[in-house]
Amino acid sequence: MDYTSLLLLGLAGLGIISSNSTVTIAMVALLLVRLLGLHQAFPWLEKYGLTVGIIILLIGVMAPLASGRISLQTIGQAFLHWKSLTAIGVGILVAYLGGRGTTLIGSQPTIVAGLLIGTVIGVAVFKGVPVGPLIAAGILSLIIGRM
């Protein structure tokens, strides 16, 4: 077994230890792609994986609206309460940072390793959720002054 496969296996182990099925499933899926010799899938995953993931995330976030659990009236009332207005502002900021992060990751692939390590540590040790790499890259882009 090569070092990359061992690294994926180790990260899957961290996912198991930290009871984070998201990390475990992702690492095992990538390990299976490697072990089954499906290397032609990696360029597709690198090119479209992030987009597909964001689409699935957006579907999950918008499902309560689509199902009718959140009404248009509730959305309208969001503009009347300071907490909801703050949530709108934070949502705008996070979307902006995610956009900057996507651009930075595309133009500076060498930082991806650091972002991944930080994200896995955050998920495994601090019980975080692995949605942070884009936002982390966006914050990093503000720090290093790149976009």
Query: Residue 98 pLDDT more than 60?
Result: yes
Query: Residue 146 pLDDT more than 70?
Result: no
Q: Please indicate, yes or no, if residue 36 is contained in any of the structural domains.
A: no
Q: Please indicate, yes or no, if residue 40 is contained in any of the structural domains.
A: no
Q: Please indicate, yes or no, if residue 129 is contained in any of the structural domains.
A: yes
pTM of the predicted structure, to 2 decimals: 0.66
- Domain with 101, as residue range(s), is 71-146
Q: What is the mean pLDDT of residues 31-56?
A: 90
SS3 (DSSP) at 129: coil
Q: Please indicate, yes or no, if residue 128 is contained in any of the structural domains.
A: yes
Query: Residue 120 pLDDT more than 80?
Result: no
Q: Please, are residues 101 and 133 in contact by the beta-carbon 8 Å criterion?
A: yes
Q: Please indicate, yes or no, if residue 85 is contained in any of the structural domains.
A: yes
Q: Please indicate, yes or no, if residue 141 is contained in any of the structural domains.
A: yes
Instruction: Please name the residue that has the structure tokens 């499933």.
Output: 25
Number of independent structural domains in the chain: 1
Q: Please indicate, yes or no, if residue 99 is contained in any of the structural domains.
A: yes
